[in-house]
A = this chain, B = another copy of it.
């Protein structure tokens, strides 16, 4: 199979597949013409990667997961630990977004949204910083 075929069948863009080779996630063979030649097992791995990425695992997680997948003597506890760690990060992210969402929704609901200049959204953003809050805004990304 050429890259176009695996792109089609895995759902990943050809560019992404080349990138995965570049960072050592896959090692397709090469034909005499220099074209990448993919076997079924390469496709399988790409599909694995596509699903792991769709679940939000980082590339480094994917590397770990594939290594575990190929390791017959793995312990499922290792896999579970990676997944749980990721789950916690997702939970943190959701919590952070929900907090933003709450504030933002409140502001939006207070804004008339008409042709007058008065706007509670801008007023909120322009508040003075309370003096004692200095240096207290860590951990926001």
Using a CB–CB cutoff of 8 Å, the interface residues on chain A facing chain B are: 8-11, 44, 47-48, 50-56, 65, 68-69, 71-77, 79-81, 83-84, 86-87, 90-91, 93-94, 97-98, 100-101, 103-105, 107-108, 111-119, 121-122, 124-129, 133-137, 140
Q: Which 7 residue pairs of A and B lie closest in terms of their CB atoms, listed nearest first?
A: A80-B113, A76-B119, A11-B137, A75-B115, A77-B113, A80-B111, A79-B119
Q: How many copies of this chain?
A: 2
Interface centre among A74, A93, A125, by most chain B C-beta atoms within 10 angstroms, is: A125
Q: Contacts A83-B104, A107-B83 known; A117 to B52 CB distance under 8 Å?
A: no
User: In the docked arrangement, what's the CA distance between A91 and B101, Å?
Assistant: 8
